[in-house]
Amino acid sequence: MRKLLFESLIRPPLTEPRPPVSDAAMTELAAAVERSARRRLGRSLSIRAVDAGSCNGCELEMHALSNAFYDIERFGFRFVASPRHADVLLVTGPVTSNMAQALERTYNAAPDPKWVVALGDCGRDGGCFAGSYAVLGGVSKVVPVDLHIPGCPPSPTDILKGLLGLLENVNEKGRVS
Amino acid sequence: MSALSHLIEKGASAQHHAPWPRAVVDPAAWTSAALELAEGRLTLLGLWGEARAVHMALLDEPASSIAVISLEEPADGYPSVARHHPPALRLERAVRDLAGLEPRDLPDIRPWLDHGRWELRHPLGERAATLTGPDPYTFLRAEGDGLHQIPVGPVHAGIIEPGHFRFTANGETVVRLEERLGYVHKGIEALMAGADLIRGVQLAGRTSGDSTVAYAYAFVQAAEAAIGLAVPPRAVWLRALMAELERLANHLGDIGAICNDAAFPLMLAHCGVLRERVLQTANNVFGHRLMRDRILPGGVAVDLSEDGRASLKALLAEIHRRLPALVELYDNTASLQDRTVGTGRLRGELARQYGAGGYVGRASGRGFDARGILRYPPYDQLSFEVPVLNEGDVNARVWIRIREVDQSLSLLGQILDRLPDGSIMRDIPVINEGREGMALVEGFRGDVLVWLRLTQEGGIERCHLRDPSWFQWPLLEAAVEGNIVADFPLCNKSFNCSYSGHDL
């Protein structure tokens, strides 16, 4: 183990450069900004991931955000274990009927101010599962959505861009309205 | 004569079911198949229903033969298989929910996928409107002094798919674990009905995101078997290339994640780097990190360029260079071994009874591998081994993954060296008659089964997808018993069953 640790000291870092803030994300945020909370969050966001019926593709990329390449914590983002600790709910999936109540309860358990980010094509409108008897078709059918990050699944860089957009908008004005 | 061919001969053979036969049998033959399963002479591969028939896919392992038997018009119910052979239990509960067919004498009649929240009942059968709201779900009982229950989920603490676990514990020791799944049921099989093949493969590739290649691969193989279409050799080899890359990425991620659950994040960090390298290379070479929508009916969507071949070679060399130190670290860290050795032990008999695929079966002495047994191309021309261990603990499941990484690296090298030239796509011919096809493809988690029936016009009439997790989830319940609650994440991660693939 010592050898590996020493090697890590002399190896150049793997970290990817910071991606530019997504334009599409910014446009979507403009609407979200109107109804968001009026409080400075500091320079960090705590994220609670909620799988509301995804195929687990988005979850794989969410996991990738924590690897050495994206190292999401250097931007002040961290994944937390409880909605009670969360500023942001990162929700995936077309929201199945069987998960709708759990999603709603998770949302209600998160303290204000809070934002909901719908992740992936299913999160917008159900994606290729839209129209099924078992899905409601998009996160906004159950909880209000502030930002949508498209992709099937969105790459870690895409997710990072969207979240940075959210964070910067919240911080620059000291409030999100 | 093998038990399976005997069964098939007793029934009326279905026309155009490829590549294995399907026979319509009478209830007596159906029950005798259930008894053969219970005796361990056959292995259950799948059990699914439609409005007026119930089907069961069977494997005769010593003879390497597969067949489907069907029971038609079971309007007043069909003889339960689970009554004799427990691995069929959740499948029969699901058939009951989806197709409305009653298994007679089913030992457990609680719903499985249907939580009472859809607007209808029996979406794959004679649809009926739902009558009331959700009924309370009764968990199985565990009684005794000092027992307490710990309910977990469906929303978990980490970035995990949703499902509910009900632990009954005596102090720290788990006495009983009961799973309740179905939260991510998306109705994929109902969406398949009436879809064309392109939408079909899109849906199949989204059944379980981590196995997107395996599902698309199995789906197109089933469709091409039904149509009788031979795919260009280059496409066949590229499919296997993607399947091995997917296996490599998932195993690397799992090895790191299991160690992380044993409070050893250094392995996660290093394995995470290797996994990310695989995904980035896949993105550069095939245009998608998970290689989603890259396998299509008739071939593959993207060709491999010379640059692509070179970057894949560089990737293999890098993993070859970096992995040994990590394996050594895993093997020589006492604090890590202390958590994984002897934890979550799955007995070999159970693995065989449930026909457990993938690393779950192979770590408990069941060496089934669809690539090895069925030798579908191009694996019939490649050399590889199927590692098998008998310990059945978390450590064994990590080691199977490590050895499979070695095998995948070797397979990828062979494929890159011998990739045939030529086209990568062939047109789908018009068939003008209803046909059926089936495929079993080895995903990273185990064998993925796809069965489908095509209409005269070449659309999908009915498609069934069976994830290996169906037979692994119940084994997790067994493996956890007697372990401490704190070791559950470790056991769970070493199984890494799919929620979405199971719930559909």
**Exposure letters B89-120 (e unless 16+ CB within 10 A, then b):** bbbbbbbbbbbbbbbeebeeeebbbbbbbbee
C-alpha B500/C-alpha B115 separation (Å) is 16
Asked if A55's CB is within 8 angstroms of B276's CB, the reply is: no
Burial class for B139, CB neighbours closer than 10 Å (0-12, 13-18, 19+): middle
Share of chain A above pLDDT 70, in %: 83
Q: Is B397 helix (H, G, I), strand (E, B) or coil?
A: helix
Shortest Cα distance, chain A CAs vs residue B15, angstroms? 31
Please spell the DSSP secondary structure of B245-310, one letter per residue: HHHHHHHHHHHHHHHHHTT-HHHHHHHHHHHHHHHHHHHHHHSSTT-TT-EETTEESSPPPHHHHH
List the single residue in B158, B186, B279 with the smallest CB-CB distance to A129.
Answer: B186
Q: Is B8 helix (H, G, I), strand (E, B) or coil?
A: helix
**Chain B residues 49-88 with a CB less than 8 Å from chain A:** none
Over the stretch B119-151, which tens digit does the pLDDT of each residue have? Answer: 898 999 887 777 677 788 999 988 888 899 999
Phi and psi at residue A92, to the nearest 5°: -115, 160
Average pLDDT over every residue of A163-167: 82
Asked if A66's CB is within 8 angstroms of B191's CB, the reply is: no
Q: Which amino acid is at A50?
A: V
pLDDT in tens, chain B (504 residues): 577 888 888 888 888 988 999 999 999 999 999 999 999 999 999 999 998 999 999 999 888 899 999 999 877 889 999 999 999 999 999 999 999 999 998 889 999 999 999 989 899 988 777 767 778 899 998 888 889 999 998 998 889 999 999 999 999 999 999 999 999 999 999 999 999 999 999 999 999 999 999 999 999 999 999 999 999 999 999 999 999 999 999 999 999 999 999 999 999 999 999 999 999 999 999 999 999 999 999 999 999 999 999 999 999 999 999 999 999 999 999 999 999 999 999 999 999 999 999 999 999 999 999 999 989 999 999 999 999 999 999 999 999 999 999 999 999 999 999 999 999 999 999 888 999 999 999 999 999 999 999 999 989 999 999 999 999 999 999 999 999 999 999 999 999 999 999 999
Element of type H or E holding B405: helix B394-418
At B361 the pLDDT is 96
The answer to whether B332 and B325 have CB atoms below 8 angstroms apart is no
- In B23-63, which residue ranges form alpha helices assigned H by DSSP? 27-39
For the cut 60, the answer to whether the pLDDT of residue A33 exceeds it is no
Burial class for B321, CB neighbours closer than 10 Å (0-12, 13-18, 19+): exposed
The answer to whether B330 and B480 have CB atoms below 8 angstroms apart is no
Q: Taking the alpha carbons of B314, B319, B324, B326 in that order, is the dihedral positive or negative?
A: positive
C-alpha B122/C-alpha A54 separation (Å) is 22
C-alpha B459/C-alpha B472 separation (Å) is 32
For the cut 50, the answer to whether the pLDDT of residue A173 exceeds it is no
Residues paired with residue A27 on neighbouring β-strands, in sequence order: none
Cα distances (angstroms) measured from residue A50 to each of A159, B150, B215, B405, B416 = 15, 21, 24, 31, 39
Higher pLDDT, A33 or B273: B273
B206 CB within 8 Å of a chain A CB:
yes
Q: How many helices (H) and strands (E) does chain B have?
A: 17, 18
What's the mean per-residue pLDDT of chain A? 84
Asked if B207's CB is within 8 angstroms of A79's CB, the reply is: no
Element of type H or E holding B12: strand B12-13
Instruction: Considering only CA atoms, give the Rg of chain B.
Output: 22
For the cut 80, the answer to whether the pLDDT of residue A49 exceeds it is yes
pLDDT confidence band for A43 (50 / 70 / 90): low
**Chain B residues 120-139 with a CB less than 8 Å from chain A:** 120, 123
Q: What is the ipTM of this complex?
A: 0.92
Cα distances (angstroms) measured from residue B176 to each of A61, A171, B140, B344, B487 = 33, 49, 9, 13, 14
The answer to whether B444 and B211 have CB atoms below 8 angstroms apart is yes
The dihedral region occupied by A95, where left means phi > 0, alpha psi between -120 and 50, and beta the remainder, is left
CA B39-B468-B44 angle, to 5 degrees, is 20
- Token pair in block for residue A66: 């924590």
At A171 the pLDDT is 53
At A37 the pLDDT is 36
Q: Which amino acid is at B188?
A: I
Over the stretch B342-371, which tens digit does the pLDDT of each residue have? Answer: 999 999 999 999 999 999 999 999 999 999
The answer to whether B103 and B77 have CB atoms below 8 angstroms apart is yes
The answer to whether A131 and A115 have CB atoms below 8 angstroms apart is no
User: Which site among B206, B219, B251, B254 would you substitute to test the A interface, given the most A Cβ atoms closer than 10 Å to its Cβ?
Assistant: B206
Element of type H or E holding B190: helix B188-192
- Which residues in B lie closer than 8 A to residue A96 (C-beta atoms)? 183-186
What is the residue whose two structure tokens read 């929910």?
B97
Report which DSSP code applies to B206.
Answer: T
Strands (E), chain A: 45-51, 77-79, 88-92, 115-119, 147-149
Shortest Cα distance, chain A CAs vs residue B116, angstroms? 8
Shortest Cα distance, chain A CAs vs residue B385, angstroms? 28
At A27 the pLDDT is 59
At A39 the pLDDT is 45
- Cβ atoms < 10 Å from Cβ of B383: 9
Instruction: Considering only CA atoms, give the Rg of chain A.
Output: 17
- Alpha-carbon torsion angle A52, B258, A163, B157, nearest 10: 50
Average pLDDT over every residue of A99-123: 94
pLDDT confidence band for A12 (50 / 70 / 90): confident
pLDDT confidence band for A175 (50 / 70 / 90): very low
C-alpha B455/C-alpha B271 separation (Å) is 46
List the single residue in A56, A67, A127 with the smallest CB-CB distance to B498.
Answer: A56
C-alpha A153/C-alpha B113 separation (Å) is 25
At A34 the pLDDT is 42
- Beta-carbon contacts of B133 under 8 Å, excluding residues fewer than 6 positions away, are B116
